[in-house]
């Protein structure tokens, strides 16, 4: 039995390596061995709980994913819903920008699309968090527009830190290296347009949208990240800086994000640049127009 376990470990490692490179020919060769428990091999995991199929999804290798799902020894439904050690299923990994891989997962005949879409990992987020953090609008659109998606429910999900996908998209905008504010804010604007504004937002709603506003406006200075573990006070361990609002040039996408956040009940962040002040004044002036 010990020898069989060692063989399974070796073959499982080789299969995962091939899947991580999208090498269908190599996987086909490995899965022809009549002496191997192929079902067990297909579900064998690494130390992070990831199967060969999950690694193929992470790389966006659609043909490799299709080959594994359609193999006679595969339990396709179980493969698609298998969670890694921290709860992410294959859809989480594919949603990091691999649109065709997301489409394959959601449209596969064995898929429980609704369950995959609303599956939450150990940290409480859904697959939508992944493209929000990475700025992948097309992947977000696929997830939100799928017939089995309840967009309102998906957008309302909070992770274990109380953050929604709106916060994730705002963090992407604030930390992205793209020099164009409009490009950086496009994912957040896409999501904000999906959220219906409440004419009388609750305190909880105001707190959440203000948190999105803060994430959009402020990030820790990357040069001082090393001081964050020294136990210093918050204002000493990392100097906050404005990123999207240093340039006093109009940007329709960025400014529309601010307008919608204020419309959704956000309070203006306490520290504002001239650019932010200009945007807020413009929004309030438009609100007073009869």
Q: How many CA atoms lie within 13 A of 69 on its CB side?
A: 24
More confident residue, 223 or 209: 209
C-alpha 224/C-alpha 211 separation (Å) is 22
C-alpha 265/C-alpha 84 separation (Å) is 37
pLDDT tens across 133-178, in order? Answer: 999 999 999 999 999 999 999 999 999 988 999 999 999 998 887 7
pLDDT tens across 94-104, in order? Answer: 999 999 999 99
Measured N-to-C along each axis, helices 252-263 and 181-192 cross at an angle, to the nearest 10 degrees, of 30
Residue 272's pLDDT is what?
55
Query: Is the pTM value of this prediction over 0.75?
Result: yes
Alpha helices in 82-180 (DSSP H): 90-94, 99-107, 113-118, 129-134, 137-145, 151-156, 165-175
Q: Which residues of 9-42 are buried (b: 16+ CB within 10 A; e: fewer)?
A: eebbebbbebbbebbbebbeebbeeeebebeebb
pLDDT tens across 9-61, in order? Answer: 999 999 999 999 999 999 999 999 877 799 999 999 999 999 999 999 999 99
């Amino acid at each position: 039995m010990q020898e069989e376990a060692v063989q399974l470990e070796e073959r499982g490692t080789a299969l995962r390596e091939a899947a991580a490179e999208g090498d269908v020919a190599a996987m086909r060769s490995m899965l022809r061995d009549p002496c191997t428990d192929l079902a067990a091999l297909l579900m064998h995991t690494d130390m992070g709980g990831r199967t060969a199929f999950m690694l193929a999804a992470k790389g966006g290798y659609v043909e490799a994913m299709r080959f594994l799902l359609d193999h006679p020894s595969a339990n396709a439904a179980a493969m698609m819903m298998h969670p890694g050690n921290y709860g992410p299923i294959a859809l989480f990994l594919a949603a990091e920008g691999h649109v065709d891989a997301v489409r394959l997962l959601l449209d596969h005949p064995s898929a429980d699309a609704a369950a995959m879409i609303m599956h939450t990992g150990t940290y409480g987020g859904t697959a939508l968090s992944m493209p929000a953090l990475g700025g992948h609008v097309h992947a977000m659109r696929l997830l939100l527009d799928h017939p089995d998606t309840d967009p309102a429910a998906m957008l309302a999900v909070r992770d274990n830190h109380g953050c929604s996908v709106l916060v994730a998209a705002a963090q992407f905008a604030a930390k992205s290296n793209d020099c164009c504010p409009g490009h950086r804010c496009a994912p957040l604007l896409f999501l904000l347009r999906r959220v219906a504004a409440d004419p009388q937002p609750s305190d909880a709603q105001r707190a959440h949208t203000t948190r999105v506003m803060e994430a959009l406006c402020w990030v820790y200075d990357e040069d001082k990240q090393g001081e964050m573990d020294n136990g210093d006070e918050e204002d000493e361990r990392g100097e906050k800086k404005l990123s999207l609002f240093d340039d006093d040039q109009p940007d329709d996408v960025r400014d529309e994000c601010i307008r919608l956040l204020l419309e959704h009940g956000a309070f203006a962040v306490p520290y504002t640049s001239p650019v932010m002040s200009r945007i807020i004044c413009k929004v309030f002036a438009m609100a007073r127009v009869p």
